[in-house]
Structure 1
Amino acid sequence: MGIAAVAFLKRDFTGQILYRTITFLIINLYLAIAAYFAATNIYIGLIINFITIFMVTYVYMNDYKHPTSYTFLMAYIFMVCMKINIDELPLRLLAVSMGVILIILPQIILNRKQFEKKSTNIIKNIVKEILEQIDDLIEGKYEEGKSIKINQKIRSLIICINEKINNSFKKNKHEVNMFNVAICLSRLNIIINHMSKYKMDKEIRDEYLNNLKLQIINIDKFNDEVESFEIINKNIDDFANKYRKLGKKINLVDESIYVLKIFLKRVSVNKESDNTISSKIYKTVNMPKRFNMVESMKENFNIKSLRCRYSIKLAMAISILIFLGNIINIEHKAWVILSAYIVLQPYQEDGVVKAKKRFIGVTIGAIIFFVTFSLIKDYVPVIVILLFSFTGYFYFTDYSKKVIMTTILSLSSISLVENIDKLSLSRFAFVSIGIVIGLLFNNYFLPYQIEDSIKELKHKYKKNTKAILKEIHLIMEDKHDTGKLMSLSMERNKIENKLILNYNKLNKKDLEKFVYEENMKMSDEKYTLLKHFYKNSSIK
């Protein structure tokens, strides 16, 4: 659980810390109890293992981020392979419960301010690049490619927000504010892009752009607490009054005035702003229950979806391996099972890459262990080697190097009671067997490739577009669910991000522009959402 705690620090669970704590506690207790009963009878265990692995993987699996189930199932495999009697079960339940505390406590201590720091840095970078875009437009050097890169960063900001709140907007006012900042920045990026193609007097356009730039700089200063709210507000009012007449003729100018006023309110952290805007928004916005959780599971419950296919494949492979390991009674069978589990990646291509790196890592690790313990065991305490391996595991990012560290770590921990030569050879042999079994399952049982994921994601992308357009239509009829529209927008960003990532894996670089153009077409959905907030606030 110590490794899990450090691994989970890459994710931000602080947005729903109580929900995460209760959920993780229930899962850990269930896995501990299931592992105990699965070990009592190998035939009943086959069924229990399949159901448990399928359920945990299916509930926590998606195609957008590293599944939470990974660490829990690693622990489950260890518990199944380490049989205990009924008298030891309470101690195991206590241990896994304490493990949850080890996961949650570092989140509270180290990740408490992580979202604010990360989102603020992203916003500052976006603002800086938007200002550069304005300069380029004035100087006649505007490039749409830079606008596409800005769009990438805006998407990263929205994904960061979604990670924090996990699709639940209720009682997350700061995150909703950041979401609206992202919308405003997206609109400014689009306005500048449209302005580059809009035919108007260059002198008037350049004067307007310079004034627009000054307002963005002032807002950035306010965000850094260099300027007061009153001064920035007055500057924007002056800008609005100056260009209101021009805005009646040119929609882009009118929209920029509106976006600036909203942007200022969104980044405002004073109590007055919070009371006059956020409280009113939450009285008028219908907040949905855990958006898309059940719907998403129903939608993916078919053999063509990644979630269903991967869950079945993983459950089948691991439950069969545990069953065979118990029948044959292999020593260190966990090495075989864990190796197969790690190679069983959602994508077939990733499984091959993982297999190669794991084989290289375990080979080098076994050699280093054998040489180290044969030559310098008497001079270097085992605790030093364990500490070095544990530190190295988290220091290195390359998977092969991580496997080297885990190989040394696992072999060192049991070297005091077993023969070193036998240990090195056994580790190499069992891990190699697990890799081969994992590759066979990956390639021949319900294979799923990156191309399959792209097709599935494109299908979801089209469904998402239809759902967003439907919500926009409902807004016009005042029958809307604004929380759902916000969640759909975040879902769209996750799909886009994964599509681009998968295209890059296949060395296809033509998708980013397509996504940017689609965002240009769909930007009205975000603007409509912002307009709804505007109507239900005190902004004038």
Structure 2
Amino acid sequence: MYNKLVKKFNINTYSMIKHGSVAVITLFGVGILFGVKNIMIAFPIALTSTVMGRQNFQVKTFNKAIKIILIDLIIVLTAYFSSMNIFWGIPINFFAIFLIMYTIVSPYDLTFYKPFIMLYVFTQYAQVSLGELPFRVLSVIFGVLIVVGASYINRVNERSVLGKSMQEAFILINNQFKNILKEEYDHTIEDKCSKIMRDIAYKVYVTRHRRYLTTNLGKVQFQIFINVEYFNLYMIQLYGGIKSLSISKEYVEKLKEIVEAIIELCKENIEFQTIKESTDNFIRQWSKGEEYHLEISLILENLLGSIKELNSIEKTGSNKVYKEWARADIDKTRVTFKEYFRPNTIRFKFASRMAITLTIALLIGGFLGFYKIIWAAITVMSIMQPYYEDTIKKAKDRVIGNILGILFTGVLINVADSQIITLGILVISLYLIYAFKEYYKISLFAAMASICIASLTENINILILYRIVYVIIGVVVVVIVNRVVFPYRLKDGVEQLIDKIARLNKKLIEDSMEFLQSNKQIHEIRDLIIHSTLLCQKLYMRNLQYNDDEINKFIAINNKYVIQVGYKVLIVYGKNENAKKENIESILNLYEDFNNNIRHM
């Protein structure tokens, strides 16, 4: 019965249990140890747990924990100083909110800033005296330690996750082989496999630390990402060979058997040595010098080498920084700060819009002292998005989720008239907030939790009225502000992403030429490949709403170009000194083909 409910409503039980437990422990722990005034700290702290989980908190956990504590304490102290005087609070609030929105970001996780801006708004609203400030500081440290503890208790086995991703990718490749043997080709299979590989590229990205690109495990993930995706894209060459009769079906059937064996290896049903012997026999049997066989042989050898390396990595050492691969300057703060500090960039516009709107909301709340006006500020903070179209969608979801949650909770509390029931609803809703991806569901349970906390000290019926009114006010304000204050539409974002991808591709070919001619800048090539891949994933997500077929074509063309250049430069020429100068022209041809394909779109 439970499994049916989980499947039917698409409930994320892992997230619900882990992050829900963090929220419950933090909320009650802070309330009991540090007082009711600090209880709202639980919400941004619990959200920190979900955000850091997506950023791979297992790499340099102690360093990241200290960094979060320092950032949170700066936010809390800044909010405290701002609340001391309503007039000097205006510039402090504006610059603090702008800097949070502008600097505390992750280019591939659009919600990364949320726990930090939420912490500022909550601490700004729930003012404390100087004597109470130490308890607020301790509540932040307590909450972060809960997050760190939860990350250790529920450590994700990334090696196992990688194995499952490989298994899914090779099942898709095997299905493509079935099509090829019927002289058919399914581009949706190719796209699904590319999506899995982009997810692996993101896992490599979030393991970077200071000067270094990745970890011991991330090194293998990167190699598998390049090799499997190149194999996936090479399938169309095999299809063309079958159609033109230049490749025999017997060859493809034997290769399909190797892929099926790799699937079994991922499931741990066969030993590595067994598939290694089968692959070596296959390579020797078909060693006739054809170009396609040389390509396939190299792919298989590299894949098996990566799998062997994966199996040899000790669990305790998998998340240690791999110091042989340096990190490029592409996304370091000193570079990105200057890159985006222009009025026409999305980051600058979004940070400015949020800073202006929240500063005014906090000013009105402080000056007029409206009861529970924090709910209007929270609505502004929650639904305002970089793109106008996303803001409209979130606004609708916020209204639906909040009104349903408020009315349901209000009726239940009035009927039950028991504090025990209220606490029960609070705990359940705190867990359910993290069980779903749909925003209206998250908003529904967040509203329930908020109303339950407030109803412990206030009349529920008054709270219902104020909550609904302030949510509607907040939604109206955000919709208007997004139209007139630094407006930024989805079309603008899509064009900016395409422009940045094109600039990275030009840089990729320049660095590739430099590497092939003088062995320099190889670390930047890896970074460029990762960023170009992830920007395409970002563009793909934007296009789900923008819905332009030409953009999907651009993504496919760019993916093919980046992977082919990366594979040939890092895998083929990186191992063969004699092949470098001989094949510089082929790399230049790839870039020329990419530009020609884009021009003819």
TM-score, normalization by structure 1? 0.89
Which of 571, 577, 580 does residue 530 from structure 1 map onto? 571
Cα offset, 1:261, TM superposition: 0.8
Aligned to 2:119: 75
What CA RMSD, in Å, does the superposition of the two structures yield over aligned residues? 2.8
Deviations 1:8-65 (A, max 9, x none): 3751322342332122111111011101101111122111211211112112335532
Cα offset, 1:481, TM superposition: 2.5
Task: Spell out the pairing of 1:256-295 with structure 2 (5 A cutoff).
Answer: 256-269=296-309, 285-288=325-328, 291-295=331-335
Which of 396, 416, 429 does residue 376 from structure 1 map onto? 416
Whole-angstrom distance in 1 between the partners of 2:425 and 2:389: 34
Amino acid in the other structure paired with 1:94: L
**SS of aligned partner of 1:315:** helix
Contact 2:413–2:421 at 8 Å: present in 1 too? no
Cα offset, 1:340, TM superposition: 1.3
Aligned to 2:596: none
Specify every segment of 5 or more residues in structure 1 that has no aligned partner in the other structure, as ranges: none
Task: Spell out the pairing of 1:67-146 with structure 2 (5 A cutoff).
Answer: 67-113=111-157, 115-146=158-189
Whole-angstrom distance in 1 between the partners of 2:269 and 2:395: 53
Contact 1:359–1:432 at 8 Å: present in 2 too? yes
Task: Spell out the pairing of 1:75-224 with structure 2 (5 A cutoff).
Answer: 75-113=119-157, 115-165=158-208, 169-170=212-213, 172-198=215-241, 202=245, 204-224=247-267
Cα offset, 1:436, TM superposition: 1.7
* CA distance 1:516–1:397, change in 2 (3 Å): closer
**SS of aligned partner of 1:246:** coil
Aligned to 1:254: 294
Bigger mean CA offset, 481-490 vs 263-272: 263-272
Contact 1:343–1:354 at 8 Å: present in 2 too? yes
* CA distance 1:207–1:52, change in 2 (3 Å): same
**SS of aligned partner of 2:286:** helix
Deviations 1:57-112 (A, max 9, x none): 11233553233210111121110011112122222111111221122222222243
Higher relative CO (Cα under 8 Å, sequence separation at least 6) belongs to 1
Cα offset, 1:7, TM superposition: 3.0
* CA distance 1:47–1:335, change in 2 (3 Å): same
Bigger mean CA offset, 85-94 vs 508-517: 508-517
Which of 389, 392, 408 does residue 429 from structure 2 map onto? 389
Bigger mean CA offset, 505-514 vs 422-431: 505-514
Whole-angstrom distance in 2 between the partners of 1:533 and 1:164: 23
**SS of aligned partner of 2:189:** helix
Aligned to 2:541: 501
Aligned to 1:472: 512
Whole-angstrom distance in 1 between the partners of 2:179 and 2:440: 44
**SS of aligned partner of 1:53:** helix
Asked if 1:243 corresponds to 2:324, the answer is no
Whole-angstrom distance in 2 between the partners of 1:96 and 1:535: 54
**SS of aligned partner of 1:381:** helix
Whole-angstrom distance in 2 between the partners of 1:160 and 1:469: 24
Whole-angstrom distance in 2 between the partners of 1:370 and 1:257: 66
Contact 2:212–2:322 at 8 Å: present in 1 too? no
Task: Spell out the pairing of 1:358-507 with structure 2 (5 A cutoff).
Answer: 358-378=398-418, 381-507=421-547
* CA distance 1:81–1:257, change in 2 (3 Å): same
Whole-angstrom distance in 2 between the partners of 1:406 and 1:199: 56
Whole-angstrom distance in 2 between the partners of 1:223 and 1:100: 36
Cα offset, 1:412, TM superposition: 2.3
* CA distance 1:166–1:458, change in 2 (3 Å): farther
Contact 1:340–1:435 at 8 Å: present in 2 too? yes
Contact 1:347–1:448 at 8 Å: present in 2 too? yes
Deviations 1:128-186 (A, max 9, x none): 11122222212212233432332222222222332344797556121111111111111
* CA distance 1:364–1:521, change in 2 (3 Å): closer
Whole-angstrom distance in 2 between the partners of 1:5 and 1:44: 29
**SS of aligned partner of 1:477:** helix
Cα offset, 1:531, TM superposition: 2.8
* CA distance 1:77–1:271, change in 2 (3 Å): closer
Contact 1:344–1:441 at 8 Å: present in 2 too? no
Cα offset, 1:284, TM superposition: 6.5
* CA distance 1:486–1:206, change in 2 (3 Å): same
**SS of aligned partner of 2:341:** coil
Whole-angstrom distance in 1 between the partners of 2:162 and 2:544: 25
* CA distance 1:257–1:337, change in 2 (3 Å): same
Asked if 1:305 corresponds to 2:305, the answer is no
Amino acid in the other structure paired with 1:355: A
* CA distance 1:97–1:23, change in 2 (3 Å): same
Contact 2:213–2:326 at 8 Å: present in 1 too? no
Cα offset, 1:273, TM superposition: 8.7
Deviations 1:466-502 (A, max 9, x none): 1111121121123422322111111111111121221
Aligned to 2:73: 29
Whole-angstrom distance in 1 between the partners of 2:228 and 2:209: 22
Deviations 1:297-351 (A, max 9, x none): 2211111111111011111111121122111122212112111111211111111
Whole-angstrom distance in 1 between the partners of 2:325 and 2:209: 18
Amino acid in the other structure paired with 1:121: K
Contact 1:285–1:483 at 8 Å: present in 2 too? yes
**SS of aligned partner of 2:386:** coil
* CA distance 1:444–1:302, change in 2 (3 Å): same
Amino acid in the other structure paired with 1:29: L
Specify every segment of 5 or more residues in structure 2 that has no aligned partner in the other structure, as ranges: 1-41, 578-601
* CA distance 1:110–1:66, change in 2 (3 Å): farther
* CA distance 1:228–1:119, change in 2 (3 Å): closer
Whole-angstrom distance in 2 between the partners of 1:447 and 1:469: 35
**SS of aligned partner of 2:433:** helix
Cα offset, 1:266, TM superposition: 0.4
Cα offset, 1:228, TM superposition: 3.6
Amino acid in the other structure paired with 1:85: S
Cα offset, 1:507, TM superposition: 2.9
**SS of aligned partner of 1:14:** coil
Contact 1:63–1:306 at 8 Å: present in 2 too? no
Aligned to 1:46: 90
Contact 2:106–2:112 at 8 Å: present in 1 too? no
Asked if 1:7 corresponds to 2:50, the answer is yes
Cα offset, 1:438, TM superposition: 1.7
Contact 1:215–1:236 at 8 Å: present in 2 too? yes
Cα offset, 1:293, TM superposition: 3.7
